[in-house]
Amino acid sequence: MNTFLLCPPDYFKIEYSINPWMSGEAVDNKVAITQWIGLVMEIQKAGGIVKTIKPTSNLPDMVFTANCGIVHDGVVVLSSMKHKERQGEKKHFTAWFEDNNYNIVDLIPGVLFEGCGDALVHGNYLIGGFGFRSDLVGLEITAKALGLHLIHLELIDPRFYHLDTCFCKVSNTHAIYYPGAFKSGEIDKLKDVINLIPVSEQDARGFICNSMLVNDTLLIPALNTDIEKELKNNLGIKTKYVGVQEFLKSGGSIQCLCLKV
């Protein structure tokens, strides 16, 4: 059964800019809380379990729990954030994992790694993205710590600064991706590992690649996309729309808000 760690958006706002989407647009906190509760409900309806961590007032991006680390078989590799604005989150997530009896791996100083923002587990592989927020060494150490084979993909479009903004597993056998986010030839590394379905730039800008699979349901942040129709009609994948527009203002969506634990 899928279990996810989420952080309530009590203090979510945009007061700095660390990606191209963060343009200072005002966040309606009441709407954000309503949308977050809606996400929790849809995860539970899909058969998932939701656990929460207490938010901290001076860490508005703590709501994006996917960036705090990556969990596999009871082991968590903690993130080492690039931007100082988010580095304070680490101690709070460390305490949560300690309280919940996870085996914790901490990276060596100077190495960058932003958790499930830039990495996901697929079978015996760690699929990782690098170039903006995580570096290759961080991915290599993480894969070794988790006992997985690394497939690393270089990202080249700053709008898609994390792997989870441009790549998403939609089933055990298929993934969607935005070709323009990757250095030429990089995505070919996955051709014998998982079936790949490209999405248009328009769909990618709507953060369709930041959808999240909960058991057999794909939670999606955008309606009436070309890729959704293809997934439903050709692959029989069940989708469910979840509105998270307030979080899109900060360059994050469904997957960013959830850490699979």
For each of the domains in the chain, give its residue range(s) and CATH number, in order of start: 3-260 (3.75.10.10)
The residue type at 224: N
The predicted model gives 134-159 an average pLDDT of 98
For residue 203, what are its two tokens? 């769909």
C-alpha span between 57 and 60 (Å, rounded): 7
The residue type at 130: F
Strands ordered across the beta sheet of 149-154: 119-122, 125-130, 149-154
Catalytically annotated residues: 162, 256
Over 90: is that where the pLDDT of 94 sits? yes
For residue 133, what are its two tokens? 């927020």
Name residue, tokens 């945009």: 14
- Count of alpha carbons within 13 angstroms of residue 223, beta-carbon side: 5
With cut-offs at 50, 70 and 90, classify the pLDDT of residue 147.
very high
Q: Count how many residues are written for the chain.
A: 261
What is the pTM assigned to this prediction? 0.96
Over 80: is that where the pLDDT of 1 sits? no
